[in-house]
Structures are given as structure tokens and as C-alpha cells.
Amino acid sequence: EKRLDIEVPRKEVRLPDVSLATVLAPHTGYVKLDGFSEGTAEELAINLIKLYETGRAVGEPINSLVLDLRDNPGGLLDAAVGVAQLLVPKGTDIVSTEGRVYGEGATLNYRSIYPPLVPASTRLVVLVNGNTASAAEIVTGVVQDTDRGVVVGEKTFGKGLVQVVEPLPGGRSLKLTVAKYFTPSGRCIQAVSYAKPRKANTMAAVSPSKQTPGGTSMPLPQQPQQMPPTDGKPTSAAPTMPSSTAIADTAAA
């Protein structure tokens, strides 16, 4: 036998964050989002446009959307802001970070600077569980705080820390916590304690007559929460991303 040496170059392979985008029921779209990495917002936008086009093609235009963030560990802050911009109105506060990395008590606010890709007329549901964390909680928080949709599921993980990676000698690195995330209403995402045991399933049966307060009526459950008012904080520009009116056009057809 002759020995054959083959060089296999190493390459970074990006797995898609949208693992499923389909029509769940008549007029209802479903998207499973598994993570938040570079390009997630653009990937989600492409899948949403295809989803709305599919609904229109079969004569059942999408007017309800289920965004599944269960078991989503999160990822990049910029990706979370980009995804949120697809859902909430232009000018909406998405998330703020507060820490000392930019100066004592400094705060950075991220705000939607584009019209949403998903029309305001589309009813939105976000599914979460105990493994929904970090960037996924940012998107969940802005949907909940702005009454853009309803959040269904279990208490989320509570990972609300901003971290940076500092290189060290010898190819090592240090992950350093520099700030905390806050939702538009001022709630800190970070859990107070990880020691408390979680119940296996805390979702309770509810009447189908439940509605979102102050928004479009939906036959879905929502747990109201008391939220502290936001205080005036300095604002920074949100990361830019391309806008599109393709979904609005298809939904209007």
C-alpha cells in the first residue's frame, strides 16, 4: 500500500442561525433562530421575505409570526440589535449597556434607525425557555417592553453581561465583564442568582381570550409585569443594516 499525504486546510465554517422557516398554519409563519452571530439579521431577513412570498403564493398571506428563541444561547450584541430592528418601529429603544468601560457610569443606548421589515400589522409571538439567554433575551425584552408582541414560555436564563476578550501571552485570552444589559423599560437582564432550582415546566394553561394590553388582540397568553420607568440616558447610534420593504409589499397584496 502506498501512503498518501493530503493537506487539509482549516477553515472557519459558519452554520446558519435560522434552522427552520416555514408556514406553520394558514396565515402563520414560524422561524426557529438558534443563535446570534455576524450576519444573523441579514439571514433572518432573507428567510422572512421568502416566508411572506410563500404565503402569498398559496393565497394565504402571512399575518402572524412565531419567533422561536427556545434554547438560543445568544451571541453578538450587534446581531441582537439587527434582529430587533426587523421587528420594532423606527426610533424604538432596543437595549442599553451600562458599565465603566466607556467612563464612570457611562451608558450606551441602541435604537432602531430603520423601518421594520415585519409589518406592524403582523401579530408576533416569541417563544422562550430557561435556556434562552443573552442576545436572545435582548430581542425578547424589546418585544415585551414595547408591546410589539407576546412572550410565551418559561423564565429565561438571565445572562445580561457585556464581555470582551482580551488576548494574553501564549495564545491565551481573558474574558472580561465590562457592563450589563438593560431592556427599554430599564430592567436588568442579569439574573440575581443562578442557585435557585428551575421547575421542569412552568407554562400554565390559559384561556384563549387573553389579549395583549394596549395592542392588537391575540388569542395567546401573556404575563403582565410591573416595570420601572426609564430614565433619560445618553444615546448612541445603533449598528447599521440594510432596510427593505419587501415584506410590507407582499403582506399588502
pLDDT digits 0-9 by tens, 211-238: 334 333 333 333 333 333 333 333 333 3
CA distance 154 to 175: 29
Mind giving me the DSSP string for 57-81?
HTT----EEEEE-TT---B-HHHHH
Residue 206 has pLDDT above 60, yes or no: no
Q: How do beta strands 161-167 and 106-111 pair?
A: unpaired
| Residue labelled with grid coordinates 399575518 | 63
Contact 75, 38 (CB under 8 A): no
pLDDT band at 193 (very low <50, low <70, confident <90, very high): low
pLDDT (mean) for 107-119? 95
Instruction: Indicate the pTM of the whole model.
Output: 0.74
pLDDT digits 0-9 by tens, 134-174: 999 999 999 999 999 999 999 999 999 988 889 999 989 99
CA distances from 192 to 98, 188, 199 (A): 17, 10, 17
Contact 191, 157 (CB under 8 A): yes
CA distance 187 to 149: 18
**How much is the pLDDT for 192?**
63
Catalytic annotation, residues: 134, 145, 159
| Residue labelled with grid coordinates 418601529 | 89
**How much is the pLDDT for 217?**
34
**How much is the pLDDT for 96?**
95
Residue 246 has pLDDT above 80, yes or no: no
pLDDT digits 0-9 by tens, 24-83: 999 999 999 999 999 999 999 999 999 999 999 999 999 999 999 999 999 999 999 999
**Residue 138, helix vs strand vs coil:** helix
| CATH dotted code for 18-182 | 3.90.226.10
**How much is the pLDDT for 132?**
98
**How much is the pLDDT for 103?**
56
